[in-house]
């Protein structure tokens, strides 16, 4: 077995270095190096506060700051060597700082532990990820709103049970997804408010005897203030779980649209065509154009759900306060960040590029006696029938059209009057799909005028940053 010399960070108590397997299970640097910016920002804020409070000298604080700035530059320019023996990003940075500035580096960790350090780094990272997600959702909403405006009056079948139900407009359908994305954005904002507290200064778990100023570091790092309980500060991963649950819900929405695009782009439906930019061919069947991007958006949802369930499960049995189990939080969040940002960009691109086949949509919208409800409503409105009776009369009209294999509007008036003499020629005015959607003017209904109004409302909302 390979044995390494004792760890320089806690070497005092150890006679021997870790087993190679111990190092492999323990090291997180391969993934937590993604926190380098947050780690350096946290250390800079901490060092400045220590100097301000007279806990370290101003000279030490300034060489710590210069050294950290140099490390940031080394990492960003790819000149930094990450070491597994140094376990994680925190110790990699600190060890390099010691190489660069000597013993003063050892003063940085005064009144701090890796437990509050990782908590503050990870919160900063998740905050940034949520801010990016908010921007991505806004861009997705804009793409949908543009298509909704363009297709405010494009008629398509609306479905329940995936059976054609009543005609709707494609614009209205697009705006349904705007509603979902807007709720996702509001969940992002709620989560950001809740996680806006700095755990830095909770130290290992109990706080510290040094006269630190946690309000100062919180402010320097852009938090509303410090967390109130040191035990909770180092043991809380709610912010990561909330990120994953927000991500899982947003991803579920993207997956539903992805599923619709998969269905709509089949030759059997032929409602939309994906652009060449967002589809793939088959290596054996030359005629094929496959919706791979939509399918992968659908599949990424599975990964993100998995990450949420993983972290909930990792946390559920942990006693207070910190346990190393919590190191497993990062890969879940990183994977979800990557999966969701890719899925969101791909979906925004697909929505923008999608070619809408209005003629097939219109033909499908009129099939299956989709305006039967309009006929029943006509009888209620014009002839004063109770809705239940109107429903019954309409059922007989539908049965007749079905037996003659014609559309409702192709039945002659005398055939209609034979079923119910209260039907007159005016009924033909409500049987077309255009008349049907135009009549749906109730608040939130699918009428083209409503869609145009909703588009204007959403544009104002987005412009106002709401």
Task: Give me the active site residues, please.
Answer: 161, 282
CA angle 56, 115, 45 (to 5 degrees): 40
Nearer to ligand ARG, 140 or 322 (CB): 322
Q: Rounded to the nearest whole angstrom, what is the least distance from the CB of residue 283 to ligand ARG in the complex?
A: 43
* Choice from 255, 327, 332, 348 touching ligand ARG (CB under 6 A): 327
Q: Are 445 and 437 in contact (CB under 8 A)?
A: no
Angle at 446 between CA 166 and CA 377, to 5 degrees: 55
> Applying CB under 6 A, which part among 43-51, 285-293, 319-327, 440-448 lies near ligand ARG?
319-327
Which one of 114-122, 167-175, 333-341, 403-411 is the stretch in contact with ligand ARG (CB under 6 A)? 114-122
Report the distance separating Cα 414 and Cα 432, nearest Å.
19
Helix (H, G, I), strand (E, B) or coil at 213: coil
Kindly tell me the burial class for residue 10, based on how many C-beta atoms sit within 10 Å of its own C-beta (0-12, 13-18, 19 or more).
exposed
> Which of positions 279-308 make contact with ligand ARG (CB under 6 A)?
none
Q: What angle do CA 181, 182, 183 make, to 5 degrees?
A: 90
From residue 420 to residue 459, what is the string marking binding to ligand ARG with x (rule CB under 6 A)? Answer: ----------------------------------------
Segment lying near ligand ARG (by CB under 6 A), choices 111-119, 251-259, 276-284, 419-427 = 111-119
Residues 228-247 that bind ligand ARG (CB under 6 A): none
Given 44, 246, 326, 427, the residue binding ligand ARG (CB under 6 A): 326
Which residues 6+ apart lie within 8 Å of 52 measured at CB? 213, 216
Q: Rule CB under 6 A: which of 115-144 touch ligand ARG?
A: 115, 118
CB of 329 to ligand ARG, least distance (A): 7
Q: Which of 7, 28, 92, 279 binds ligand ARG (CB under 6 A)?
A: 28
Q: What are 156's strand-pairing partners?
A: 168
State the Cα–Cα distance between residues 327 and 333, nearest whole angstrom. 11
Question: Please, what's the largest Cα pairwise distance for the chain?
Answer: 102
Six token digits for residue 230: 């040191």
Structure tokens at 211: 């006269």
Q: Residue 102: CA atoms inside 13 Å, Cβ hemisphere, count?
A: 4
CA dihedral of 313, 315, 316, 319, whole degrees rounded to 10: 150
**Part of the chain binding ligand ARG (CB under 6 A), chosen from 16-24, 113-121, 291-299, 361-369:** 113-121
Residue with the two structure tokens 């807007």: 182
Contact (Cβ atoms closer than 8 angstroms) between residue 244 and residue 126: no
- Which range, of 144-152, 276-284, 323-331, 427-435, touches ligand ARG by CB under 6 A? 323-331
Which of 32, 197 has the CB closer to ligand ARG?
A: 32
Given candidates 114, 172, 300, 303, which one binds ligand ARG under the rule CB under 6 A?
Answer: 114
CB of 277 to ligand ARG, least distance (A): 39
Nearer to ligand ARG, 307 or 327 (CB): 327
Question: CB of 359 within 8 A of CB of 269?
Answer: no
**Residue among 38, 39, 60, 88 that touches ligand ARG (CB under 6 A):** 88
Nearer to ligand ARG, 28 or 235 (CB): 28
Q: How many residues bind ligand ARG (CB under 6 A)?
A: 10
Min CB(334)–ligand ARG separation in Å: 12
Query: In which region does residue 273 sit, left (phi positive, over 0), alpha (psi from -120 to 50) or beta (all else)?
Result: beta
Task: Give whichever of 28 and 230 is closer to ligand ARG, judged by the CB atom.
Answer: 28
> Could you give the count of Cα atoms lying within 13 Å of 72 in the half-sphere of its Cβ?
14
Question: Does 314 sit near ligand ARG (CB under 6 A)?
Answer: no
CA contacts within 13 A on the Cβ side of 395: 6
CB of 84 to ligand ARG, least distance (A): 12
Stretch that binds ligand ARG, among 112-120, 169-177, 179-187, 244-252 (CB under 6 A): 112-120
Q: What residues make contact with ligand ARG under the rule CB under 6 A? A: 28, 32, 88, 114-115, 118, 322, 324, 326-327
């Amino acid at each position: 077995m390979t044995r390494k010399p004792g760890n320089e960070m806690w070497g005092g108590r150890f006679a021997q270095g870790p087993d190679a397997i111990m190092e492999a299970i323990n090291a997180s640097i391969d993934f937590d190096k993604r926190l380098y910016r947050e780690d350096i920002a946290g250390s800079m804020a901490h060092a400045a506060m220590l100097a301000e409070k007279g806990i370290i000298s101003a000279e030490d604080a300034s060489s710590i700051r210069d050294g950290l700035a140099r490390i940031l530059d080394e990492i960003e320019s790819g000149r930094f060597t990450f070491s597994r023996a140094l376990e994680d990003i925190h110790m990699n940075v600190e060890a390099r700082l010691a190489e660069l500035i000597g013993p003063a580096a050892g003063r940085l960790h005064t009144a701090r532990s890796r437990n509050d350090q990782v908590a503050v780094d990870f919160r900063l990272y998740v905050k940034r990820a949520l801010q990016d997600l908010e921007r991505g959702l806004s861009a997705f909403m804009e793409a949908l709103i543009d298509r909704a405006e363009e297709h405010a009056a494009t008629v398509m079948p609306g479905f329940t049970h995936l059976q054609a139900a009543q005609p709707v407009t494609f614009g209205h359908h697009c705006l349904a997804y705007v509603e979902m994305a807007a709720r996702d954005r509001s969940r992002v904002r709620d989560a950001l408010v809740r996680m806006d507290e700095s755990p830095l200064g909770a130290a290992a778990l109990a706080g510290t005897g040094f006269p630190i100023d946690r309000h100062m570091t919180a402010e320097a790092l852009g938090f509303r203030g410090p967390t109130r309980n040191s035990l909770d500060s180092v043991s809380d991963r709610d912010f990561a779980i909330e990120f994953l649950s927000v991500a899982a819900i947003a991803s579920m929405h993207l997956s539903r649209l992805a599923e619709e695009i998969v269905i709509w782009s089949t030759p059997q439906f032929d409602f939309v065509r994906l652009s060449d930019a967002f589809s793939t061919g088959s290596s054996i069947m030359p005629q094929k154009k496959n919706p791979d991007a939509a399918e992968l958006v659908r599949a990424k949802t599975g990964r993100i759900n998995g990450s949420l369930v993983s972290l909930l499960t990792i946390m559920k049995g942990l006693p207070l306060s910190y346990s190393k189990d919590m190191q497993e939080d990062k890969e879940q969040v990183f994977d979800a960040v990557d999966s969701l940002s890719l899925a969101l960009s791909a979906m925004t691109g697909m929505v923008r590029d999608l070619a809408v086949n209005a003629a097939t949509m219109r033909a499908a919208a009129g099939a299956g006696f989709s305006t039967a409800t309009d006929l029943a409503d006509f009888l209620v409105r014009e002839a004063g029938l109770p809705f239940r009776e109107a429903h019954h009369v309409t059922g007989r009209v539908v049965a007749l059209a079905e037996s003659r294999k014609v559309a409702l509007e192709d039945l002659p008036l005398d055939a209609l009057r034979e079923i119910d003499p209260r039907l007159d020629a005016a009924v033909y005015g409500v049987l077309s799909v255009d008349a049907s959607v135009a009549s749906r003017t109730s608040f939130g209904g699918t009428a083209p005028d409503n869609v145009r109004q909703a588009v204007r409302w959403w544009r104002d909302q987005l412009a106002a940053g709401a």
